Chains A and B, each alone.
Chain A
Amino acid sequence: KAGVTQTPRYLIKTRGQQVTLSCSPISGHRSVSWYQQTPGQGLQFLFEYFSETQRNKGNFPGRFSGRQFSNSRSEMNVSTLELGDSALYLCASSPSGQYEAFFGQGTRLTVV
Chain B
Amino acid sequence: AQSVTQLGSHVSVSEGALVLLRCNYSSSVPPYLFWYVQYPNQGLQLLLKYTTGATLVKGINGFEAEFKKSETSFHLTKPSAHMSDAAEYFCAVALYNQGGKLIFGQGTELSVKP
A: residues with CB less than 8 A from B are: 4, 6, 31-33, 35, 42-45, 48, 50, 55-56, 58, 90, 92, 94, 99-106, 108
The answer to whether A99 touches B45 (Cβ under 8 A) is: no
Known contacts A90-B43, A100-B49, A103-B45; A42/B104 CB under 8 A: yes
Tell me which of B14-22, B74-82, B95-103 binds A: B95-103
Instruction: Give the distance in Å from the alpha carbon of A106 to the alpha carbon of B34 in the complex.
Output: 19
Since A101-B46, A105-B41 are in contact, a sample of 13 more A-B pairs with Cβ atoms closer than 8 Å, ordered by chain A residue number, is A6-B43, A31-B100, A33-B102, A35-B104, A45-B103, A48-B100, A55-B100, A92-B44, A99-B32, A99-B49, A99-B51, A99-B96, A103-B36
Most buried by B among A4, A43, A45, A102: A43
Which 4 pairs, one residue from A and one from B, show the smallest C-beta to C-beta distance? A103-B43, A43-B104, A99-B94, A103-B44
Most buried by A among B32, B94, B101: B101
**Interface residue range, chain B:** 20 to 34
Picked from A44, A48, A102, the residue with its CB within 8 Å of the CB of B99 is A48
The answer to whether A56 touches B101 (Cβ under 8 A) is: yes
Known contacts A43-B90, A103-B44; A94/B104 CB under 8 A: no
B: residues with CB less than 8 A from A are: 32, 34, 36, 41-46, 49, 51, 90, 94, 96, 98-107
Picked from A4, A6, A94, the residue with its CB within 8 Å of the CB of B100 is A94
Which residues of chain A are near B42, meaning CB under 8 Å? Answer: 105-106
For residue B72, give the distance in angstroms from its CB to the closest CB of chain A. Answer: 18
For residue A105, give the distance in angstroms from its CB to the closest CB of chain B. Answer: 5
Which residues of chain B are near A32, meaning CB under 8 Å? Answer: 100
Instruction: Give the distance in Å from the alpha carbon of A65 to the alpha carbon of B102 in the complex.
Output: 18
A/B interface sample: 20 pairs, CB < 8 A: A4-B43, A35-B104, A42-B104, A42-B106, A42-B107, A43-B104, A45-B103, A48-B100, A55-B99, A55-B100, A58-B101, A90-B44, A92-B100, A92-B102, A99-B96, A101-B46, A103-B43, A103-B45, A105-B41, A106-B42
